[in-house]
Chain A
Amino acid sequence: MKTDLNIIAKTLRRKIIETSFRARIPHIGSCLSCIDLLVYLYWCELKINPLESENIHRDRFILSKGHGAPGLFQVLAAKEFFPLNLLEEFGKPGSVFHEHPPKPGYIAGIEAATGSLGHGLPMALGMALAERIQKLEYRTYAMLSDGECNEGSIWEAAMLASAQKLNKLTVIIDYNKWQATGRSQEVMAIEPLSDKWKSFGWDIQEIDGHDFSQIKDSFNKAKDESKPSAIIAHTIKGKGVSFMEDDNNWHYRIPNADELQRSLRELEDES
């Protein structure tokens, strides 16, 4: 499994960068930091049948860090939520595939429009409450960025989820230590992040967000908890391409032809 997931993630990293180059789409660094987590979620964790993407009992996944959409779109295409060739429209005028997820109904598998940070987790909280009230059978997941934890609404949601004991709600924080214009610790003193979530009444795990074994263990453990669960995934922005890693210029930069080729060479499939 581990090898397979690594191969899949590497393939999707290539596609993210190729698409960014072709469609002039930014946020490569943010997509590369969370792609391993997305791959694990969609290949191993989420109970969603791509052929029944509106089944009422499906697990719900909200990409609260909506600027990671170029990564999520690649994942959904690879899982055949929609035909792969639809991504040829990515970034073209009139396409539904642009920088953020649109509202449901335009792209199969997208549960909520995100991109305005701080909305996704509260929406996921509502979905988790809806599961409990209607006695349905699903778990709800929301992926946040560390920068997104600047938003007060994240902490409003954190408190209510705790008060409501929503143990079927899991948050994954893609903690790449950067936000748009600076180090997340310097902009808003995000640390001690783990203690913050813990003090808000959540179960906490800290993992390496690029290690599939740790990712697997954390999701399994989250299911055993009686509280909402936050997985703080330490990641590297731009992970997988040496000259993009931990360089925040790649929050907005789009590769030139030379950078594209260098990236793809680094991400060649060695298997």
Chain B
Amino acid sequence: MRSLFAKEITNIAKNNKKVVILSGDIGNRMFDEFKDFAPDRFINCGIAEANMMSLASGMALCGLRPVIYTITPFTTTRCLEQIKIGAAYHNANLLIIGTGSGLSYSELGPTHHSLEDIAIIRSIPEIRLLTPSDPEELKVQLNESLLLDGPTYIRIGKKGEPNIFSKDNYLGIGKANVIRKGTDILILAIGPIVSEALSASNDLANENINVEVATMGSVKPLDEKFLEENLIRNFKYWITLEEHGLVGGLGSAILEWASDNNYLDKLKLKRIAVKNQFINKLGNQNYTRKMLGLDSSGIRNTIKNLCEN
């Protein structure tokens, strides 16, 4: 996803002279083409994210469209107050890209895991929170974000994410998409981890459990129309799936939506996410997903247990 981001933002910036990239001293070589044609619009802000976020707000107030790029914990939790005050309160036209979200940098340890970013960014008013599931969705959301007023946070993976969507999907901000039809269980996923849900669903089909898989696309705005339409479809369970902590993520957002709209008696919901814990025994992303029950077999087992009980 990060390569697609670099390529796409470069294309956009060729036509949109307001676009400036602010890097937190990462992205070595990724932005070479950008730097070649617009050296004055690429600023390496160093390892100083608080300053980078506030200066982006200042730039936005003076007419530019800054795009802030660094690894997710450092562009979210590290500079939360600068996002709240500089970006959100000022309604600044800026874009925050968190790269390597969730467990993308699993081996690098808890310093590089981002399992809280959705929870905290979601609590801030007036900022969009987008969670593309594949490079194509990122491309669409990136282009749309830069046409909208106000700040946007896009949570992306790292590299090698599979393509999820077909040409039939309408990808846009605040738009859920069904990528596998089913009738028993509804999985609502965000981010590249949706590929694990697809794999689990194929396995469950062999056991006569018919799973529908949808991507939510964004947590703010939440596609409430899509959720409401699915309330009457009598799924046995709704499953939320996210590479994020259990606290405050997509699952929480949907439970809050259900509670606020008096829908709690109309659905059963199970959240699949990372327990509220630090991960101390490290491995690559696949290893950690498996250990935490977030891989396809873990998802399959969770759903099987729900169906059997």
A residues within 8 Å of B by Cβ? 56, 60, 103-104, 111-113, 116, 118-119, 122-134, 136, 152-153, 156-157, 159-160, 163-164
Contact = CB atoms under 8 A, between A and B. Distances in A.
B54 interface: yes
A155 to B, nearest CB: 9
A126 B59 contact: yes
Interface residues of B, number: 29
B63 A56 contact: yes
> Which of A111, A132, A133 has the largest count of B CB atoms less than 10 A from its CB?
A133
B81 interface: yes
Given A116-B81, A116-B85, A134-B64, A156 B58 contact: no
Given A156-B51, A164-B43, 10 more contacts: A113-B89, A127-B59, A128-B58, A130-B63, A131-B62, A133-B40, A133-B41, A134-B62, A153-B51, A157-B51
Contacts of A156: 46, 48, 50-51
Contacts of B56: 126
A104 B61 contact: yes
A164 B89 CA distance: 27
B51 A130 contact: no
27 contacts: A56-B62, A103-B89, A103-B91, A104-B90, A113-B90, A119-B85, A122-B53, A123-B61, A125-B51, A125-B54, A126-B56, A126-B60, A126-B66, A129-B43, A129-B55, A130-B63, A130-B64, A131-B62, A133-B40, A133-B41, A133-B64, A153-B50, A153-B82, A156-B51, A157-B51, A157-B54, A160-B55
Contacts of B66: 126
B297 to A, nearest CB: 45
Contacts of A104: 61, 90
Nearest to B60: A126
Contacts, number: 101
Nearest to A111: B61
B50 A127 contact: no
Interface string B27-71: 000000000000011010110101101111111111110100000
A125 B61 contact: no
Interface string B184-197: 00000000000000
A9 to B, nearest CB: 29
Contacts of B20: 129, 133
Given A116-B81, A153-B54, A159 B46 contact: yes
B102 interface: no
Given A133-B64, A160-B45, A126 B58 contact: yes
Contact of A122 (B40, B41, B51, B91): B51
A255 to B, nearest CB: 31
Nearest to A133: B40
B86 interface: yes
Given A103-B90, A160-B48, A125 B58 contact: yes
Nearest to B41: A133
A163 B52 CA distance: 14
A60 B62 contact: yes
Interface of B: 20, 40-41, 43, 45-46, 48, 50-51, 53-64, 66, 81-82, 85-86, 89-91
A57 to B, nearest CB: 11
Contacts of A153: 48, 50-51, 54, 82
B55 A122 contact: yes
B45 to A, nearest CB: 6
A127 B48 contact: no
A60 B40 CA distance: 21
List 4 tightest A-B contacts by C-beta distance, closest first.
A126-B58, A122-B54, A126-B55, A130-B62
Contacts of B50: 118, 122, 152-153, 156
A56 B58 CA distance: 13
Contact of A160 (B51, B59, B86): B51
A269 B58 CA distance: 40
Contact of A127 (B51, B58, B82, B85): B58
Nearest to A122: B54
B55 A125 contact: yes
Nearest to A129: B59
A201 to B, nearest CB: 13
B45 A124 contact: no
Contacts of A157: 51, 54-55
A119 B85 CA distance: 9
